[in-house]
A and B are shown apart, each in its own frame.
Chain A
Amino acid sequence: MAKNDLSLSLEKTLADLTELMSDTAELNVVRGVVFDTPVAVVSAEGMVSAQQVGELVLRPLSELGLGHGENEKVFDLITDKLFFTADRKLVYCLEDICTFLFSGFAVILVRGECRACALGLQGFEMRSVGAPEAEQTVHCAQDSFTETVRVNMSLIRRRLKSPKLVIDMLSAGRLSKTDICIVYLKDRVPEDIIRRIKEDLNSIKLDAVLTSGYAEPFVDESFSGSVFSSVSTTQRPDLACTRLVQGRVCVLIDGTPFALVVPSLFAESFQTMDDFSQKPYYTAFMRWIRYISFFLSVGFPGLYVALADHHPEVFSLKLLLNLSVAEEATPYPLMAEVVMLMVFFEIMREAGLRLPKAAGSAVSIVGGLIIGDAAVKSGIVSAPLLIVVGITATASFVTPQLEQPAAVLRLIFILAGGLAGLFGLAVCFTVLVANVCAMNDFSVSFLSPAAPLYPSGIKDIIYMKSFREYEKSRSTLSDIREAADE
Chain B
Amino acid sequence: MAVRTLAQRLKNSGRRYILWVLAGALLCFGIAHSHNIEDRVLVHAMGIDRAADGYEVSLQVFRSSGAGGDIPIDISRSNVQLIKVRADTVSQALDRCSAKLGRDVFLGHLQTICFGRDVSFERPQELFSFAVRDRSVYLGVELCLAQEKASDIIMTEMKRGSLSSENLRKALDENVKNGRTVECTLLDFLADIKSPMFEAIPVAALSQEGSGENKEPVIDITGTALISGGRVSEYLSPEQSFGLSLLRDEGRSFAAVVGSDGRSYDVRFENADVSRRLCIENGRLVFNVDIDLSAAVSLDIRHSDVLKQEHLSDHLETQLRSAWRQSVQSGCDAVGVWRFVRRKYPKVYLEYEDDIERLISSTKLCLDIECSIE
Is there direct touching of A and B in the complex, by C-beta distance under 8 Å?
yes
Chain A residues in contact with chain B, CB under 8 A? 196, 199-200, 203-204, 218-219, 221, 224-225, 308-310, 312-313, 317-318, 320-329, 333-334, 415-416, 418-421, 423-424, 427-428, 431
Quick check: A329 and B26 within 8 Å, CB to CB?
no
Quick check: B67 and A325 within 8 Å, CB to CB?
yes
Shortest Cβ distance from B288 into chain A, in angstroms?
41
Quick check: B26 and A419 within 8 Å, CB to CB?
yes
Shortest Cβ distance from B248 into chain A, in angstroms?
28
Q: Is B325 an interface residue (CB 8 A)?
A: no
- Residues of A close to B44: CB separation below 8 A: 317
- B72 contact from A199, A321, A424, Cβ within 8 A: A321
- A317 contact from B26, B30, B37, B111, Cβ within 8 A: B111
- B30 contact from A203, A321, A329, A424, Cβ within 8 A: A424
The docked-state distance in angstroms from the alpha carbon of A29 to that of B22 is 66
Q: Is B62 an interface residue (CB 8 A)?
A: yes
8 Å CB interface, B31-67 against A: 31, 34-38, 40, 42, 44, 62, 64, 67
Chain B residues in contact with chain A, CB under 8 A? 1-2, 12, 15, 19, 22, 26-27, 29-31, 34-38, 40, 42, 44, 62, 64, 67-68, 72-73, 79, 106, 108-109, 111, 136, 138, 162-163
Quick check: B2 and A224 within 8 Å, CB to CB?
no
- Residues of A close to B2: CB separation below 8 A: 196, 199-200, 221
Quick check: A308 and B37 within 8 Å, CB to CB?
yes
- A321 contact from B1, B22, B34, B42, Cβ within 8 A: B42
Of the listed residues A219, A321, A323, the one surrounded by the most CB atoms of chain B closer than 10 A to its CB is: A321
Quick check: A312 and B40 within 8 Å, CB to CB?
yes
- Residues of B close to A309: CB separation below 8 A: 35-37
Quick check: B26 and A424 within 8 Å, CB to CB?
yes
Shortest Cβ distance from B75 into chain A, in angstroms?
10
- Residues of B close to A328: CB separation below 8 A: 38, 64, 67
Pull 24 A–B residue pairs with CB atoms less than 8 Å apart, ordered by A.
A199-B1, A200-B2, A225-B12, A312-B37, A312-B109, A313-B109, A317-B163, A321-B62, A321-B72, A321-B79, A322-B72, A322-B73, A324-B38, A324-B64, A325-B64, A327-B38, A329-B68, A418-B30, A419-B27, A419-B29, A420-B29, A424-B29, A427-B22, A431-B22
Shortest Cβ distance from B267 into chain A, in angstroms?
36
Quick check: B1 and A323 within 8 Å, CB to CB?
no
Query: Which partner residue on chain A sits nearest B137 by CB separation?
Result: A313
Shortest Cβ distance from A233 into chain B, in angstroms?
18
Contact (A325, B72) CB under 8 Å given A200-B2, A317-B109: yes
A-B contact sample (5 more), CB < 8 A, given A324-B42, A327-B36, A428-B26 = A313-B106, A313-B136, A318-B73, A325-B64, A415-B26
The docked-state distance in angstroms from the alpha carbon of A418 to that of B37 is 11
Quick check: A333 and B29 within 8 Å, CB to CB?
no
Query: Which partner residue on chain B sits nearest A201 by CB separation?
Result: B1
The docked-state distance in angstroms from the alpha carbon of A196 to that of B1 is 7
Quick check: A420 and B26 within 8 Å, CB to CB?
yes
- A419 contact from B30, B42, B163, Cβ within 8 A: B30
The docked-state distance in angstroms from the alpha carbon of A204 to that of B1 is 8
The docked-state distance in angstroms from the alpha carbon of A325 to that of B74 is 11
- B12 contact from A224, A321, A421, Cβ within 8 A: A224
Shortest Cβ distance from A94 into chain B, in angstroms?
30
Q: Which 4 A-B pairs have the closest CB atoms?
A: A419-B30, A313-B108, A325-B72, A200-B1
Shortest Cβ distance from A203 into chain B, in angstroms?
4
Quick check: A320 and B42 within 8 Å, CB to CB?
yes
Quick check: A324 and B19 within 8 Å, CB to CB?
no
- Residues of A close to B108: CB separation below 8 A: 312-313
Quick check: B64 and A321 within 8 Å, CB to CB?
yes
- Residues of A close to B109: CB separation below 8 A: 312-313, 317, 320
- Residues of B close to A416: CB separation below 8 A: 26
Shortest Cβ distance from A196 into chain B, in angstroms?
7
The docked-state distance in angstroms from the alpha carbon of A420 to that of B33 is 9
The docked-state distance in angstroms from the alpha carbon of A317 to that of B1 is 57
Shortest Cβ distance from B44 into chain A, in angstroms?
7
Of the listed residues A318, A324, A328, A431, the one surrounded by the most CB atoms of chain B closer than 10 A to its CB is: A324
Quick check: A420 and B1 within 8 Å, CB to CB?
no
The docked-state distance in angstroms from the alpha carbon of A224 to that of B64 is 51
- A333 contact from B36, B42, B64, B163, Cβ within 8 A: B36
- Residues of A close to B42: CB separation below 8 A: 312, 317, 320-321, 324
Of the listed residues B30, B34, B67, B162, the one surrounded by the most CB atoms of chain A closer than 10 A to its CB is: B30
The docked-state distance in angstroms from the alpha carbon of A424 to that of B31 is 13
